[in-house]
Structure 1
Amino acid sequence: MKLDYEKYKLANGLEVILHRDTRLPIVAVDLWYHVGPAKETAGRTGFAHLFEHMMFQGSGHVGEDMHFKYLEGAGASLVNGTTSFDRTNFFEDLPSNQLELALWLESDRMGFLLDKLDAKMLANQQDVVRNERRQSIENAPYGLAEEEVYHQLFPKGHPYYAAVIGSHADVQAAQLGDVQDFFRKYYVPNNATLAVVGDIDVAKTKALIEKYFGTIPAGPQVAPVNVQTPPITQEKRVTMTDQVELPRLYVGWVTSPYFSPGDAEADIASHLLGGGKASRLYRSLVYDKKIAQEVSAQQLSQSLGSVFQITLTAKPGHTTQELQAALDHELDSLATRGPTEDELAAVKNTIYSNIITSLENVGGFSGVADRLQTYNHFVGDPGYLNKDLARYSAVTTEGVKQFVADQLAKNKRLVLGVVPGEKVLPPAPPTPPMPTVTAAKVESKEPWRNEVPKPGPISTAPLPSASKFDLPNGLKVYLVENHALPVVSAEMVVRSGSSADTLDRPGLAGFTVAMLDEGTAKRDALTIASDLEALGASYGSGTARDGSTISLRSLKQNAAKTLDILSDILLAPTFPEK
C-alpha cells in the first residue's frame, strides 16, 4: 500500500500535505494545531478544548455562528473539531468545487479569530464547556472514575493529569487576556499542519492555500514538551462510589508512547484481551463465568506515555473482587504462555483490515487526511503507512508475552473500583453574570477577505457500472468492481422492516435481524465472531421502516471464506434462546 502525497511549507511556517484522489468529487480539509492539554500549564487546564468551541463562533470576516451555516449551505459533511492531549484538529468534507470556501473559513479563524473574540464570546463558551463537563463527567455514570484514572496514573502537574475538558475552576477563571495569549502562541501557521485530500487540482490548490494562509504572520517558535513520565512501582488501589446500578472495575497502566517500541504489542494485547466477542476476557467473564456485563481493553496511545486500560462491568449480583480475580487469571495466562499463533494472526488481520478500510474515506475520523496528519504529527512522516503496517506484522507471540509480563505487571498498575453509592462531586465555582458589552468592530487589514468565495465548476464523477444477475432462487445480485483497495464489501437488503411488525410484536423485525449472528446450525455466536476476526472481516446489521440490511466487509484474499460465513448466518440461523 502507498499513499502518495506532497508535503511543503509556506514562508510563515505552515506545513501543507496534499493528496489527490479523484474517486469522488469530494475534498477533505483537515487542519491540525500541534497543541493540546500537553502544552497547558497548571491553572490553565481546558484552554485547548475551550478554543475548539470558540473557533466555530465567528472570526474577523465570518459572522457569528456563520461557520456552520456556510458549510451546511455548501453541502459539507463531517464538520467537526476534536481535542486530544497532544493536538487539536478541525475538519470538514465538502464538494470539491467548494474547496475555496473551506480554506477561507479555516484561514480566517487562524488569522482573525481575535478580531471577534471578546468577553461575551468567552463567557458564553465557558458556560457551554462547563455544561459539557457536567454532562460528560459529573452527571455521566462512571464519569468521575474515568477522570480519576488519569489523576492516579499521572502525577499532579503532569500534562496528562487533568482532563482534556479542564476543571470548572480553571475554565471559569480564564480571563480574556489569558486566552488571547494562548491563541497567539499556539494557533499560528508555524504550529499547524493543513491537509487537503481528494478531488483537487494540485497547482490551483497550492495557489489558494498561498492566497488564504500566506499572509498570516508566523508566531513565536513553540518549544516541544519535554516531560518525563515517572513510572508506577507499587500497585495503587482506589474505591469510589457513584449513582450507578452495577459495580465497575478500571485497571490501568502507563505504557509505551505512540509509535515507540512496545506500542504495537500493547495494541495487539488490547485486542486479544478485550477486542470483542472473540477476545479472552469476553469469553471468560461474559460467556463462560457470566460475571461481567461488558468488557473492554484499549491502548490509548499518546506521545508522553500511553494508557492501557481495561474496563469490566459486573453483572447484577457480582463484585469487582470477582472481576479482578478473573482478570488476573487471564493476564497471568497471557504473560506466561502468550497468545496462540492463530490468535495473533487473527488480531493482525483485524488491525490490518481496520487500517486499510479506513482509507476508503478521504476525511472524517481515521480517513486518509486524518491518517496523513497522525503520521506527520507523531513521527514526522506522512508516508508512514507501510511502516505502520510493518510494525504490527513484526509482532511475535514472544513479544506480546513479554509486553504483558513487563508493562502490565501488578506493581505498575492502578486498580480502581466503582460501587453503587453516593456521587461525590468536586466543588465548582458559580457561573458569573453574562457580560453585555461586546468588543468594538475591528477594521480588516485585508478587506478582500470579506467576500465569501463562490463555488467553482461542479466536478462530476462517473458512477461505477454494475453487472446484474439473478440466482436460480430469485435472489438479485449487483456486482460493482473497485480495485482501489484490497477490500470486498457485501450487503444484503431485505424488503421488510419495522413496518411489518404486528401490534402485539413491536420491534420483532429489528430483534430478528439482530439475532442472526447469535448462532447457526454450524457455529455459535463466539465461533462466528472468532471466524470473522481470523479473516479480518466485520459484520453489521440494521433495520429501518421499509427494509433491513445485513453487511459484511472483508479483505480481498479472504472474501470467499467470509461470504461462506455470511451465507451460514443468513440461511441457517438458530435464534438460540440463551
Structure 2
Amino acid sequence: MIQKIGLSIVLTASVISAAEAQTKLVEKVTRQGDELVIPYSKYKLANGLTLIVHEDHSDPVVHVDVTYHVGSAREEVGKSGFAHFFEHMMFQGSDNVADEEHFKIVSESGGTLNGTTNRDRTNYFETVPSNQLATAMWLEADRMGFLLDAVTQKKFEVQRETVKNERGQNYDNRPYGLVYEMTSKNLYPYGHPYSWTTIGYLEDLNRVDVNDLKNFFLRWYGPNNATLTVGGDVKPEEVVKLAEQYFGSIPAGPAVEDMKPMVAKLDKDRYVSYEDNVRFPMLRMTFPTPEAGHKDEPALDVLAEILGQGKNSIFYKNFVKDQKAVQASASNSTSELAGEFGITVLPFPGTSLAQTEELARKSLAEFEKRGVTDEDIQRFKAQAESSLINRMASVSGKVSQLAFYETFRNDPNYIQEELKRIQSVTKADVQRVYDQYIKGKPAVILSVVPKGKTDLLAKQDNYTISKEGFTPAADQYSGLKYTKAVDTFDRSKRPGKGPNPVVKVPDYSTSKLKNGLKVISAKSEEIPTVTMQLSIKGGHRLEANMPNKAGIASLTAGMLNEDTENYTSEQFSNELDKLGSSIRINSGSEETYVTVQSLKKNLDKTLTLLEERLFRPKFTQEDFDRLKKQQLEGIANQATQPTAIANNVYDKLLYGEGNIMAIPTEGTEKTVQNITLEDVKNFYNSNYSPSVSELVVVGDINEKELMKKLDFLKNWKKKDVKMPVVAKTPTIEKTRIYLVDKPDAAQSEIRIGYLSMPYDATGEYYKAGLMNYALGGAFNSRINLNLREDKGYTYGARSYFAGGKYGGPFTASAGVRADATAESVTEFMKELTEYQKNGITPEELTFMKSSIGQSDARKYETPYQKAGFLGRIIEYDLKKDFVKKQTDILNTISEKEIDALAAKTLPVDKMLIVVVGDKKTVMPKLEALQYEVIELDTEGNQIGTSSAK
C-alpha cells in the first residue's frame, strides 16, 4: 500500500527541531499480505537530497547507500574516467576524516564498505552493525560536503597510479579485456557518452590535473543529485534526524537534469578487430537496442534467453552441444541512455570467425522458423520472479534495489511495475522485438584473434571512427565554487556508537541418517526460499589413488550436470527453469558440491529433479567426449593467463612432485587424455556415498517438514570410501624467487608463502588469522597500504592463511605493475620481515579486536551465509559454543601472543616467491635482489640455469 503525502512530515518535538521540519515525507509504502514489495518511507530534504528508509529488524545490521546520479556518461571527450577516478578519491579522506581513515573506521566498526561506478551512477555503501548507523552517515556526509580541501596533489597522483593498475589488471592484461571498449567506441558516434568505458583511457588519466577532478566533483556531487538510502535495524525517525544533522546543511549543487535516451544507429555492419594474448578467437556481434525501462526491454530479455542462455538455447545447441565452440551466449544489456543486444561466441582454436559468423546468422534464421513457445515465456517469468525474491535476501540487496529504482525510475516501489512488465510479456512481443531490432539489422561485429592470427578474422575492418558531426559539450565547469556547510555542532567529533548489538547465532538442528549422511538445518523465514548444499568428501584429493587420471573428479561432476536416465540435459534444464530453481554440481580440491536453490513453493518438484540428477545419470559417450574436449581446452587456455599460471606453479612448488595437490583440480592435458567414460562411471560408483557426505539446509522450512522430504536420500546406499594418504610435501630450504616468463605482460603476478597448517576453529589456525589481520587481512593492513596506497604499485595486495582439513598455505599475493615487480617483492618481504621480528602494535591490536569482534552482526544474514556457517560446523564437528570460544580468544589474546605467532608462522627465510611476468622487463632488477632466481616454464618445470646469490 502506498500513501502519497505532500505536506511536511509531522513528528514530535522531541524527535525533530523546527529547523529540521523542512524535511518532507513524500510517501510511505507498506506490505499487504504476501505481495512482493520492499516497505519504505521516502523523504525530501530542503537541499534536494532524497532520503529513503527501509525498516527491517531481522538482523542487527544497517546498510547505508549514497547513489549519485553521475557516471561516465557525464564526462566529456578527452576527460574520460573521472567518475571512476572520483570513486577512488572519495576514500582518501575529507576535512574531518583523515587519509585512509574511511576504511579503517568502518572496518574497526565491524563493517564492510565499497564503491562502484558505471555509465550512469556512482554509489558508496557501508554495511555495519546497527549501533554504527550514525558513524556511517557521518562519514558519507563528510565526503559529500567536506572533501575537496583534502584532495591533495600527492593523493591525486597515488590514486591515478591505482586506477592505472586497475585498468592494467582488469582490461589491458586480462584476456578479452578490451572487448567492451572496442565495441563501445565503434558502436556509438564519436563523443557519445557511452563511446568510452567507465575506466577511461590512459592518455586521459595522464592528461588531467587535480583541478579538473575538483570541478567534476563540484558539478555533480551535490545533495540534489544524490539519493541516501538506509535500511536495516533502524527507526525512520532516527534516520531522518541523523540525515538532517549531517546532510541537511550541505548546500545544493548546480541543477542536474536527466539525460535523454541516445540509442545507437548503424547504417551497415561495422567490422572491427584486434589481436590479443588468447587461445580462443572471439566473435562479438552487438545490435543497438532501446534504453533500460523501455517497454521492449522484457521482450528482448526473453529473446536473449531463447537465443543464447542455458542449455535450451539455440546457440548452445548449435555451438556448444555440436562442439563448435567452448562458449556461445546472447544477452540484452541496458543502460539509462541506450541498450545493446550482444551475441558472443568463442569457437575452438583455429576456427575462422567468418565460419562462426555464418553459423550465428543461421542460428538467428533458425529462431525465425522456431518461433516463441509457451515454455519460453514460462521459463522467463519463473526465473525473473526467483531472481527478484533472491535479491531481497540481504538488507544491502533491498537497499540497492530501492536506490536503483529511485535514481532511474523516480519510484522506489518500481518492483511492482517490474513484475507487471515481466508478467505481461507475450510471444508476439518477443517476435516483434526480434523483427524490429535484430532481423536484418546492422551490428558492430568484433573479431578478437590470437596474436599473429589475423587470417581468422570474420572480415577485414571496414569502419573507421569519424569525428564528423561532433560538437563539444557546452562548458559546465567554469565559475563553480566550493561552499561548505555551516553547522551548529562540532562535525569533527565522531559520533558515539552505543552498545554493540546482541548477535544471535543461528539456531540449528542436526541428525544423521542410517546410511551415514549427516544433516544440519536452520529455519529462516525472511524470504520464501530454500538453499541446500550437499558436500561429498574427496574431490580432487581422491585422485591421489589415480594421479595419471587427475581431473576425473571435475569431469565426473560435469557429467552429472548432463543427461539423466529420464531427461536429456536440455529437458532437465527446462524443468528447472520453469520452477525458477537451480541445481549445480561442481568439484573442488577436497569435495564435490551439489548446490540447490528453490522457491519454497517449488521445493518438492526441485527435490524430485535433484534425485534424478544425483542418482540416475546417463553418462553418455557424446556428453563425455564434449566435456572432455572442453576440459582439455580449458587447461590449454590457462597457459595464456598469468593469474592461472601463478596459482598453478605456486601449488606445484608448495606440494611437490608426487603430491596430487601439486596438480590443478582440472588435471593436465596428459592426465585428462587418459580418462575414459568407464573411468568416470567407476569414480562415481565408488566415491559418491552418503557415508562421506553432509547436507546443509537453510530456508523457510522446519526440521520435521524437511526430514519428510529427504526419503530419497535415506535410500542412498553407502560405500566404503577411504581417503588416500597424500604424499609428503617438500621442505623449503631457503627463500628463492621462481620466475615464469610471460612476454610483454603489462603486469606481474606475485605469490609468496609456504605450506602452513590445517583449519582449526579455536586453535592456532584461528589465532594466526587474528595475527594476519593487521599484516594483510584488511584494506588498512600494512601490505595493502604500502603497495597500493603509498606506492601505487598495485590495485590490491593481501595475505591470508587458507587451511582446510588437511592443511593449506599462507600466501601473500598481488598483481603489480611490470616495472615495479622487484620493488613489490622487496616491499612484500620488508613488511613480512618487520612483522615477523617486531609483531603487532597496540593500535593494530585494538583495531583488530574491534573490527573482528563487531563483524558478527554481518555473518549470518543471508541463506548462503547461514549455510556456510552451518557447513563449517558439520564438516569440522564443531561444538555449539565454538563462536563463544572464538570471542573469548579474540577478547583475551595479547600483544605478546600475537608477536609469538608472527615469529612462528612467518618464516621469511623459508618461503617461495613466485613471479609471473615479462622476463626482459623484470629479470635485471630481480637478479639484483638478495635471492636466488630460478627460471621455470608455465608448468613449473625448471629451465635454464638459476641466478645464484
Structures share fold, TM-score greater than 0.5: yes
Conserved? CA contact 1:36–1:83, under 8 Å: yes
Give TM-score, length-normalised by structure 2. Answer: 0.56
Aligned match of 1:517: 561
- 2: CA distance, partners of 1:477 / 1:134: 46
Q: Which residue of 1 aligns with 2:189?
A: 155
Aligned to 1:438: none
Taking only the aligned residue pairs, the percentage that are identical comes to: 36
Deviation at 1:520, TM superposition (A): 3.2
- Residues 383 and 578, structure 2, Cα contact 8 Å, conserved in 1: yes
Deviation at 1:319, TM superposition (A): 2.0
Question: Aligned partner of 2:355: which letter?
Answer: E
1:5 match = 40
Q: One-letter code of the match for 2:526?
A: A
Judge which range, 187-196 or 142-151, deviates more.
142-151
C-alpha deviation, 1:443, in angstroms: 12
Partner of 2:500: 458
SS at match of 1:526: helix
Which string of whole-angstrom CA distances, capped at 9 and with x for unpartnered residues, describes residues 303-333 of structure 1?
A: 1111111111111232212221221122223
Partner residue, 1:265: 299
For residue 200 of structure 1, report the CA deviation from its aligned partner.
1.1
- Once the two structures are TM-superposed, the CA of residue 280 in structure 1 deviates from its matched residue by 2.0
Q: Which residue is 1:316 aligned to?
A: 349
| Alpha carbons 2:263, 2:339 under 8 Å: kept | no
CA spacing shift, 1:544–1:138, aligned 2, 3 Å:
closer
SS of structure 1 residue aligned to 2:315 = helix
Name the counterpart of 1:488: 530
Shift of 1:499: 5.4
Moved more, 124-133 or 470-479: 470-479
CA distance in 1, matches of 2:511, 2:308: 41
Structure 1 residue 336, shift from structure 2 partner: 4.8
**Offset, 1:552:** 0.6
The answer as to whether partners of 1:291 and 1:322 remain within 8 angstroms in 2 is no
Mind listing any 5+ residue stretches in structure 2 that lack a counterpart? 1-35, 455-482, 626-949
The reply to whether residue 532 of structure 1 matches residue 576 of structure 2 is yes
Alpha carbons 1:50, 1:129 under 8 Å: kept: yes
Tell me which of 382, 399, 405 is aligned to 2:412: 382
1:204 positional shift: 1.6
1:205/1:524 CA distance change after superposition, 3 Å: same
For 1:360, the equivalent position in structure 2 comes to: 393
Of 491-500 and 340-349, more deviation after overlay is shown by 491-500
Query: Partner amino acid for 2:497?
Result: P
SS of corresponding position for 2:135: helix
Asked if the contact 1:100/1:208 (under 8 Å) is kept, the reply is yes
Map Cα deviations across residues 154-195 of structure 1 (whole Å, 9 max, x no partner).
100111111111112222211222111110111111110011
Q: Secondary structure at the match of 1:165?
A: coil
Tell me by how many angstroms 1:490 deviates: 2.1
**125-134 or 196-205, which deviates more:** 125-134
Q: Within 5 Å, which residues of 2 pair with 1:382-531?
A: 382-421=412-451, 448-460=490-502, 462=504, 465-466=507-508, 471=513, 473-496=515-538, 502=544, 504-505=546-547, 512-513=556-557, 515-531=559-575
Match of 1:139 in 2: 173
Alpha carbons of 1:493 and 1:114: their partners in 2 closer, same or farther (altered >3 Å)? same
CA distance in 2, matches of 1:184, 1:139: 34
2-side partners of 1:443 and 1:348: how far apart? 49
> Residues 500 and 337 from structure 1, CA distance in 2 versus in 1: closer, same or farther, beyond 3 angstroms?
closer
Mean Cα deviation higher: 217-226 or 367-376: 217-226
Is 2:607 the counterpart of 1:563? yes
Secondary structure at 2:272 match in 1: strand
Residue correspondence of structure 1 range 273-352 to structure 2 within 5 A: 273-288=307-322, 290-352=323-385
Report the equivalent of 1:81.
Answer: 115
Note the C-alpha offset of 1:32.
0.3
- For the Cα contact (< 8 Å) 1:335–1:405, is it kept in 2? no
Q: Which moved more, 1:249-258 or 1:522-531?
A: 522-531
One-letter identity of the residue aligned with 2:127: D
Residues in 2 aligned to 1:573 and 1:71: alpha-carbon distance in whole angstroms: 49
Distance in 2, Cα, partners of 1:416 & 1:145: 8
**Map of 1:253 onto structure 2:** 287
Q: Which amino acid aligns with 1:523?
A: Y
Structure possessing the higher radius of gyration over alpha carbons: 2
Relative to structure 2, which stretch is displaced further, 375-384 or 340-349?
A: 340-349
Query: 1:205-228 CA distances to partner (integer Å, 9 max, x unpaired)?
Result: 222222221121111111332464
Structure 2 SS opposite 1:293: strand
Matching residue of 1:45? 80
> Partners in 1 of 2:555 and 2:127 — Cα distance?
34
Structure 1 letter corresponding to 2:601: Q
Residue 65 (str. 1) matches residue 73 (str. 2): no
Q: CA deviation at 1:34?
A: 0.3
Which residue of the partner structure matches residue 213 of structure 2?
179
- Is the CA contact 2:261–2:291 (under 8 Å) kept in the aligned structure 1? no
Query: Quick check: 1:126 aligned with 2:168?
Result: no
| 2:62–2:127 contact (8 Å) kept in structure 1 | yes
Matched position secondary structure for 1:249: strand
Change (3 A) 1:530 1:117: same
State which drifts further: 529-538 or 509-518: 509-518
Task: Evaluate the alpha carbon distance shift between residue 563 and residue 190 of structure 1 in structure 2; reply closer, same or farther with a 3 A threshold.
Answer: same
In structure 2, C-alpha distance between the alignment counterparts of 1:261 and 1:443, rounded to whole Å:
43
Counterpart for residue 273 of structure 2:
239
Instruction: Check 1:206–1:353 CA distance in 2 against 1; reply closer, same or farther (3 A cut).
Output: same
Q: Note if contact 1:39-1:225 (Cα within 8 Å) is conserved in structure 2.
A: no
Deviation, 1:395, is: 0.9
Q: Distance in 1 between matches of 2:441 and 2:334?
A: 21
User: Per-residue CA shift, 1:265-309, capped at 9, x if unaligned?
Assistant: 111222222223332211221002x11111222221111111111
| Structure 1: distance between partners of 2:67 and 2:444 | 32
1:97 corresponds in structure 2 to: 131
Q: Is contact 1:250-1:416 (8 Å) kept?
A: yes
Say whether the 8 Å CA contact 1:517–1:528 is kept in structure 2: no
Aligned mates of 2:301, 2:284 — CA distance in 1: 18
SS in 2 for 1:12: coil
Q: For the residues of structure 1 that align with 2:599 and 2:485, how far apart are their CA atoms?
A: 53
Residue equivalent to 2:884: none
Mapped to 2, the partners of 1:574 and 1:388 lie a distance apart of: 40
Query: Which of 103, 106, 111 is the equivalent residue of 2:145?
Result: 111
**C-alpha distance in 2, partners of 1:443/1:325?**
61
* Deviation of 1:19 (Å): 0.7
Which segment drifts farther, 496-505 or 252-261? 496-505
Measure, in 2, the Cα distance between the counterparts of 1:116 and 1:223: 29
Q: Deviations over 1:58-111 (max 9, x none)?
A: 11111111211222222223x221111111111122212221221121111111
Q: Does structure 1 retain, via aligned residues, the 8 Å contact 2:284–2:345?
A: yes
CA RMSD of aligned residues (A): 2.6
* Amino acid across the alignment from 1:390: K
Shift of 1:380: 0.7
Unaligned runs of 5+ in 1: 425-441
User: Which residue matches 1:436?
Assistant: none
Other structure's SS at 1:91 match: strand
Most deviating of 452-461 and 462-471: 462-471
Instruction: Go from structure 1 to structure 2 and tell me whether the alpha carbon gap of 1:293 and 1:543 turns closer, same or farther (over 3 Å shift).
Output: closer
The size of the alignment, in residue pairs, is 556
Specify the alignment match of 1:439 in structure 2: none
- CA–CA distance in structure 1, aligned partners of residues 136 and 251 of structure 2: 20
For residue 292 of structure 2, give the secondary structure of its aligned residue in structure 1: coil
1:383 partner amino acid:
N
Flag the 1:423–1:381 CA change in 2: closer, same or farther, 3 A.
farther
Greater relative contact order, per chain length (Cα 8 Å cut-off, separation 6+): 1
Contact 1:336 1:405 in 2 (8 A): no
| Conserved 8 A contact 2:251-2:484 | no
Q: Structure 1 residues 510 and 143, CA, compared in 2 at 3 Å: closer, same or farther?
A: closer
